[in-house]
Amino acid sequence: MREHLAEYAIEALLLGLFMLSAGVVTTALEAPGSPLREAIASPLTRRALIGAGMGLTAIALVYSPLGKRSGAHMNPAITLAYLRLGKLASRDALAYAAAQVAGGIAGVAVVAALLGNPFESAPVTWIATLPGVAGPGIAFAAEVAISFGMMGAALVFTSAPRLAPYTGLCCGALVALYITFEAPLSGMSMNPARSLASALFPGLWRDLWIYFAGPPLGMLLAAETYRGLRGAARVHCAKLQHSDRHRCIFCGFEPRTGGAP
């Protein structure tokens, strides 16, 4: 595990950066008194802008040198799905999940220190993922559905040589669409570490089970569906974006050095 510490640290940093971006973008567009909120009256338009911001953030992180090194899971549910498919060791999966939780919490803490009350108060409320007016049951079903869609798309794209280079774009587009249209149902999490990070400081525990259970269930269902239809062997690696310039702790790839493999 010591040999993989760099990848673990990168996973923490990536989710921390994602939470930092989410906090800043959401506060800018939703906090009372914000010039952007006053200028844009439509909640749907504001959600679309938040979705675009977070989708672009996800894309940038996946295609960054750091994302190409760790695989850019940024999500224990994604890591769990790849574990079920046999694409990483259990010790690496545990370390990835722990790093993702730590990074998410650190990212939220940094946003709170930078923005203070506008970030912590309603309606931003620490960018917590909370069930919509339809209730917890619908929120849970929605989390399962969007998580299934995200993991299914990632598996289809990464397993097809022609589509693999566009995996990050596909995932980023789904993030943007989900925030725009699904967020009123569940808050759009897909990520237990992300939801825990936002719930920890304000103590919003009541409906956290939705985000601990829904995303892993949806992504495991996607993994099992893909495995049944095409076989686990079609999944070449647990990285969302494989690069010939970065080592891979999942498939064992090592970049060429000095002309030698």
Which sequence spans correspond to the domains of the chain? Answer: 2-234
Distance from C-alpha of 217 to C-alpha of 248, rounded to nearest angstrom: 26
Residue 258 has pLDDT above 60, yes or no: no
Task: Tell me what percent of the residues of the chain surpass a pLDDT of 70.
Answer: 98
Residue 50 has pLDDT above 60, yes or no: yes
pLDDT at 97: 98
- Which of the four CATH numbers 3.40.50.1100, 3.40.50.12170, 3.40.30.10, 1.20.1080.10 does domain 2-234 have? 1.20.1080.10
pLDDT at 259: 44
Mean pLDDT of 113-141: 97
Residue 104 has pLDDT above 90, yes or no: yes
Residue 33 has pLDDT above 90, yes or no: yes
Distance from C-alpha of 131 to C-alpha of 194, rounded to nearest angstrom: 15
Whole-model pTM: value is 0.95
pLDDT at 169: 98
Placement of tokens 């510490």 in the chain: 5
Average pLDDT, the chain: 95
> Could you tell me the pLDDT band of residue 236, with boundaries at 50, 70 and 90?
confident
pLDDT at 257: 66
Mean pLDDT of 234-251: 92
Tens digits of per-residue pLDDT, 69-89? 999 999 999 999 999 999 999
Mean pLDDT of 10-20: 98
Residue 5 has pLDDT above 50, yes or no: yes
Mean pLDDT of 200-221: 97
DSSP bridge pairs for 66: none
- Burial string for 211-224 (b: 16+ CB within 10 Å, else e) reads bbebbbbbbbbbbe
Specify the DSSP class assigned to residue 121. Answer: S
Residue 260 has pLDDT above 60, yes or no: no
Cβ neighbour number for residue 246 with a 10 Å cutoff:
19
- The answer to whether the CB of 152 falls within 8 A of the CB of 226 is yes
Tens digits of per-residue pLDDT, 215-233? 999 999 999 999 999 988 8
Mean pLDDT of 18-32: 98
